Amino acid sequence: MHAIGIFGGTFDPIHFGHLRLAEEMAEGLGLARVLFIPAGQPPHRGAPRTAATHRLEMVRRAIAGNPRFELDAREVESPRPSYTVDTLAALRAELGFEQPLWLLLGADAFLELPTWHEWRQLFELAHIAVAARPGAQLLQSEVMPESLKNEVSQRQRTDGPVSGPAGSVLLRQMTPLDISATAIRDTLARHGSARYLLPDAVLDYIHEHQLYLHT
């Protein structure tokens, strides 16, 4: 049974760092599909600045033409703030208990995991694949919170086949792309060029709707 990747984020806006992460994970882990799930009101990060309709449409345009990539709007359509653990539990119920699931995270997001709601349950619901990210601390180093280190040490796998539907943690290299949505927003707010940091279709949408004109 081919595994499915689950990739959440504020995507404010989506950029090539996100898209390369998903593509390299899909290839490396043999994922049949990657679900992009834009966050509604991320409980641990404060409200995203850009309306969900815009963030959804930008993701839709960015992934158009990639048959493995899909947009999943459940979090922005939910009237309540969505926790990743609840989204994963819902997907697990829909897809069945045998289905291998991979939660895809950048290293900075992974290091914050112990601040997430019911975070230890995430390991019961999915495997977790972590992508190195320029600027994020090395995962093996002492910056990893003790609680996370304890949880991960039993679960960490080196590259190679991972069995079962959930429970392993894999740290993976990816082409380092030092791109962040924050830097893109800052560039656009000072009327700089964000070209080649994100797909043209997304940049066109941003200009059409006059997004990110102010910090």
Q: Establish if 9 lies at the interface with ligand ATP (CB under 6 A).
A: yes
**Contact set for ligand ATP, span 13-72 (CB under 6 A):** 17-18, 21
Q: Establish if 12 lies at the interface with ligand ATP (CB under 6 A).
A: yes
Q: Establish if 11 lies at the interface with ligand ATP (CB under 6 A).
A: yes
Q: Establish if 199 lies at the interface with ligand ATP (CB under 6 A).
A: no
CB of 116 to ligand ATP, least distance (A): 12
CB of 32 to ligand ATP, least distance (A): 20
Q: Establish if 179 lies at the interface with ligand ATP (CB under 6 A).
A: yes
Q: Establish if 141 lies at the interface with ligand ATP (CB under 6 A).
A: no
DSSP code per residue over 171-212 = EE--------HHHHHHHHHTT---BTTB-HHHHHHHHHTTTT
Longest pairwise C-alpha distance within the chain: 49
Say whether 49 sits in a helix, a strand or coil: coil
CB of 97 to ligand ATP, least distance (A): 25
Q: Within 10 Å of residue 2's Cβ, how many Cβ atoms?
A: 10
**Sheet with 169-172, edge to edge strand ranges:** 69-71, 31-38, 3-9, 101-106, 127-131, 169-172, 156-157
Name the residue whose CB lies closest to ligand ATP: 106
Q: Establish if 75 lies at the interface with ligand ATP (CB under 6 A).
A: no
Which residue, 141 or 163, is less far from ligand ATP as judged by CB? 141
Contact criterion met (CB below 8 Å) for 55 and 129: no
Q: What is the 3-state secondary structure (H, E, C) of 54-100?
A: HHHHHHHHHHCCCCCEEECCHHHHCCCCCCHHHHHHHHHHHHCCCCC
Specify the stretch interacting with ligand ATP by CB under 6 A; choose among 79-87, 100-108, 119-127, 137-145.
Answer: 100-108
CB of 137 to ligand ATP, least distance (A): 12
Contact criterion met (CB below 8 Å) for 51 and 212: no
Residues that bind ligand ATP (CB under 6 A): 9-12, 17-18, 21, 105-106, 108-109, 131, 133, 177, 179-182
